[in-house]
């Protein structure tokens, strides 16, 4: 079942300068989809257009059959799409517990927030053990997992991950990828992920898109793309335009 | 130790209740009054300056406004200041909301400057609005009806009650969803907005609440001194004292502002007693502020709790790393080393 559908979306940060040039992407329920591509291909822009930070000028974004293109970020969040942005998005001076509560801030019910927090703690016990520590004391990988845990506080139907391995040591990055995989395998979560580290991203994904200059150039099962010579060529400075 | 940890609040309250009966000289009653008054006002300032991170240098404006409203109501309408002050302070809080709505478009140092400008506007207005404020000579109001011998004791208990209310409000806000939003804003306003905090509304509300108890304090003070003038009512030092106490005790903590007031008000009295009301007092206040900022930027309470936490931190980090290893099979032994060294 298709949960997210992006049809011919055109969007950009400045008028008349479009980053996305009529892109088409779809994600099915319970699928882990990875977008790869060189710098400036528009990978993060796709996520921003979905979560409402950026308004598409053309095209359609459907979530569960409903159009969400151009909706305010908080309303997209309420639809059940959680966005974990690039870099550190936790509050470094707040405790782990407070960070988790911030994840469900739009939720007005205290008991419900506590219940969801317990559920996330069950998944990541180290967050519970260190709940009174400042998030800023965490290592990069631990912060990333905290951010994923925070995103789960809204019990989203789908999670958008923007370069989860950015700036992490290889070992930590591996742990973060394991976490993402377990989101899908254990929770049945639908994930759309952007990854600069193509090899690791493709290794855990079901399906993948290769983006270049604001459109999708290749699409297919992640394992197939992993061994596609054209993907390697793209990363070595080639182009797929031909 | 365990006994103290559980009951220290009650013990402190009993000591404060007994204090005026143990130290019977009016001087001690007056000193106690000012300690509690500033503890209450610093607690109030801390809601904006500490939790939200918007440091206002102009809170004296609300102090003065509260003082004048109470004095004018007492003179013109015959309202008892101790009854009218909590109500008139609501008006001041609403004024603060209105002004906050304008000033909180700025942030950082621009906000600090805006609050100083606000204070100066109030002061100049009070000096020149002679029909209402009587200008520079100031305004007198009726003396309390009770005997001069005990005149300070009712003030002491009255402000003790309001200090407890202010602490309760501060505690309640800090643990509420509203307070969580405020603290998130202090950390990163952009991120707070992203996760759904109505930053504009919350900032303005926090500003109003933090003005309330300062205005109430000003109102009670005007009755206590029975004569107020713009120079003292709209004195920037009143606001500076609140900040200094909060920062000395622990910015953004519940008890920090109280601790700061309990240290600084008696210290200030001592300085005044030793050196007289000269500019030496100002120099010492400024110097102390510099020392606090340089050596203890987080204040007593935070420095102490950080110190206690850091003694346990390597162990906690160790446990965290081990439970990461429970989830993942990967070699987190190296990770653990990193964690520990990062805590040095």
Across the interface, which of A129, A137, A172 has its CB nearest the CB of B319?
A: A129
Integer Cα distance of A84 and A148 in angstroms: 7
Chain A's closest residue to B337, CA to CA, is A139
List the CATH number of the domain containing B74.
1.10.3470
Is the pLDDT reported for residue B68 higher than 90? Answer: yes
User: Are residues B310 and B180 both part of a single domain?
Assistant: no
User: Are residues B265 and B321 both part of a single domain?
Assistant: no
Residue A215 lies in a domain: yes
pLDDT of residue A71: 86
Chain A's closest residue to B324, CA to CA, is A126
Reading the block at residue A176, the tokens are 């973060």
Poorest-pLDDT segment among A50-54, B91-95, B274-278, B303-307: B274-278
pLDDT tier, B313 (very low <50, low <70, confident <90, very high otherwise): low
User: Are residues B128 and B221 both part of a single domain?
Assistant: yes
Residue B5 lies in a domain: no
Residue B260 lies in a domain: yes
Mean pLDDT for chain B overall: 85
- For A146, other C-beta atoms within 10 Å of its C-beta total 25
pTM (2 d.p.): 0.81
Best to test chain A binding among B175, B178, B195, B339 (most A CBs inside 10 Å): B195
What is the distance in angstroms between the Cα of B93 and the nearest Cα belonging to chain A? 26
What is the distance in angstroms between the Cα of B201 and the nearest Cα belonging to chain A? 15
Q: Does B24 touch chain A (CB under 8 A)?
A: no
The range of the structural domain enclosing residue B327 comes to 306-342
pLDDT of residue B283: 83
The range of the structural domain enclosing residue A22 comes to 2-235
Residue B2 lies in a domain: no
Best to test chain A binding among B50, B193, B196 (most A CBs inside 10 Å): B196
Higher per-residue confidence, B117 vs B297: B117
Residue B126 lies in a domain: yes
Residue A91 lies in a domain: yes
Mean pLDDT for the stretch of residues B162-190: 93
User: Are residues B256 and B337 both part of a single domain?
Assistant: no
Number of domains in chain B: 2
Chain B's closest residue to A125, CA to CA, is B323
Which residues in chain A are contacts of B330 at CB distance < 8 A? 171, 174-175, 178
User: Are residues B146 and B87 both part of a single domain?
Assistant: yes
User: Are residues B276 and B315 both part of a single domain?
Assistant: no
Q: Check if the beta carbon of residue B319 is closer than 8 Å to that of residue A129.
A: yes
ipTM for the complex? 0.75
User: Are residues B236 and B327 both part of a single domain?
Assistant: no
Reading the block at residue B125, the tokens are 């207005």
User: Are residues B41 and B64 both part of a single domain?
Assistant: yes
Q: What is the DSSP letter of A136?
A: G
Residue A240 lies in a domain: no
User: Are residues B311 and B249 both part of a single domain?
Assistant: no
pLDDT tier, A72 (very low <50, low <70, confident <90, very high otherwise): confident
Is the pLDDT reported for residue B343 higher than 50? Answer: no
pLDDT of residue B116: 94
Q: Cβ of A92 and B187 within 8 Å?
A: yes
Q: Does B313 touch chain A (CB under 8 A)?
A: yes
Q: Does B228 touch chain A (CB under 8 A)?
A: no
Integer Cα distance of B328 and A176 in angstroms: 10
List the CATH number of the domain containing A163.
3.40.50.300
Mean pLDDT for the stretch of residues A124-147: 87
- Give residue B47's region: left, alpha or beta (phi > 0; psi -120 to 50): alpha
pLDDT of residue B306: 78
pLDDT of residue B222: 93
pLDDT tier, B331 (very low <50, low <70, confident <90, very high otherwise): very low
User: Are residues B158 and B90 both part of a single domain?
Assistant: yes
Integer Cα distance of A199 and A210 in angstroms: 12
Number of domains in chain A: 1
pLDDT of residue B321: 45
Dihedral sign computed on CA atoms, order B36, B38, B39, B44: positive
- State CA B53 to chain mean position distance: 13
Of all residues in chain B, the percent with pLDDT exceeding 90 is: 45
Residue A242 lies in a domain: no
Q: Cβ of A139 and B342 within 8 Å?
A: yes
Residue B1 lies in a domain: no
pLDDT of residue B138: 83
What is the distance in angstroms between the Cα of B298 and the nearest Cα belonging to chain A? 12
User: Are residues B246 and B269 both part of a single domain?
Assistant: yes
User: Are residues B332 and B249 both part of a single domain?
Assistant: no
Q: Cβ of B327 and A130 within 8 Å?
A: no
Residue B3 lies in a domain: no
């Amino acid at each position: 079942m298709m949960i997210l559908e992006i049809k011919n979306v055109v969007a950009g940060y400045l008028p008349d300068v479009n980053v996305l040039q009529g892109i088409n992407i779809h994600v099915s329920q319970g699928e882990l989809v990875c977008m790869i591509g060189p710098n400036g291909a528009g990978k993060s822009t796709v996520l921003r257009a979905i979560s409402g930070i950026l308004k598409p000028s053309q095209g359609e974004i459907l979530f569960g059959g409903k159009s969400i293109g151009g909706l305010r970020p908080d309303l997209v969040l309420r639809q059940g799409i959680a966005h974990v942005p690039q870099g550190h998005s936790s509050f470094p001076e707040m405790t782990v517990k407070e960070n988790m509560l911030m994840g469900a801030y739009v939720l007005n019910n205290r008991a419900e927030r506590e219940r969801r927090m317990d559920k996330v703690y069950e998944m990541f016990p180290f967050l519970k053990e260190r709940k009174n520590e400042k998030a800023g004391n965490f290592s990069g990988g631990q912060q990333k997992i905290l951010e994923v845990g925070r995103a789960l506080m809204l019990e989203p139907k789908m999670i958008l991950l923007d370069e989860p391995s950015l700036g992490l040591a290889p070992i930590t990055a591996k742990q973060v990828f394991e976490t993402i995989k377990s989101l899908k395998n254990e929770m049945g979560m639908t994930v759309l992920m952007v990854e600069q580290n193509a090899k690791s991203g493709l290794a855990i994904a079901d399906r993948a898109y290769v983006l270049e200059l604001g459109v999708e150039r290749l699409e297919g099962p992640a394992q197939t793309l992993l061994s596609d010579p054209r993907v390697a060529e793209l990363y070595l400075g080639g182009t797929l335009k031909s | 130790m365990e006994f103290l940890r559980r009951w220290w609040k009650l013990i402190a309250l009993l000591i404060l209740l007994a204090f005026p009966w143990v130290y019977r000289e009016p001087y001690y009653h007056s000193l106690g009054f000012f300690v509690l008054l500033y503890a209450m006002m610093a607690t109030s300032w801390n809601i904006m300056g500490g939790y939200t991170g918007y440091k206002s240098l102009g809170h004296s404006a609300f102090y003065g406004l509260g003082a004048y409203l109470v004095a004018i109501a007492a003179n013109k309408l015959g309202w008892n200041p101790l009854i009218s002050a909590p109500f008139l302070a609501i008006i001041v809080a609403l004024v603060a909301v209105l002004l906050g709505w304008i000033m909180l478009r700025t942030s950082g140092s621009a906000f600090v400057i805006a609050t100083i400008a606000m204070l100066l506007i109030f002061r100049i207005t009070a000096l020149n609005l002679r029909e209402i404020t009587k200008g520079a000579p100031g305004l007198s109001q009726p003396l309390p009806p009770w005997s001069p011998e005990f005149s300070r004791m009712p003030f002491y208990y009255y402000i003790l009650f309001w200090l407890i209310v202010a602490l309760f409000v501060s505690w309640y806000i800090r643990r509420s969803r509203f307070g969580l939003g405020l603290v998130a804003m202090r950390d990163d306003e952009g991120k707070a907005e992203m996760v759904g905090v109505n930053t504009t509304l919350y900032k303005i509300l926090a500003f109003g609440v933090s003005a309330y108890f300062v205005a109430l304090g000003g109102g009670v003070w005007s009755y206590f001194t029975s004569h107020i003038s713009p120079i003292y009512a709209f004195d920037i030092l009143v606001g500076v004292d609140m900040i200094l106490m909060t920062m000395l005790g622990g910015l953004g903590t519940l008890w920090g502002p109280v601790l700061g007031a309990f240290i600084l008000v008696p210290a200030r009295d001592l300085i005044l007693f030793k050196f007289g009301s000269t500019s030496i007092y100002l120099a010492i206040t400024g110097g102390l502020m510099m020392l606090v900022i340089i050596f203890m930027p987080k204040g007593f309470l935070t420095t102490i709790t950080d110190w206690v936490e850091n003694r346990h931190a390597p162990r906690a980090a160790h446990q965290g790393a081990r439970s990461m290893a429970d989830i993942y099979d990967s070699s987190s032994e190296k990770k653990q080393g990193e964690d520990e060294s990062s805590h040095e």
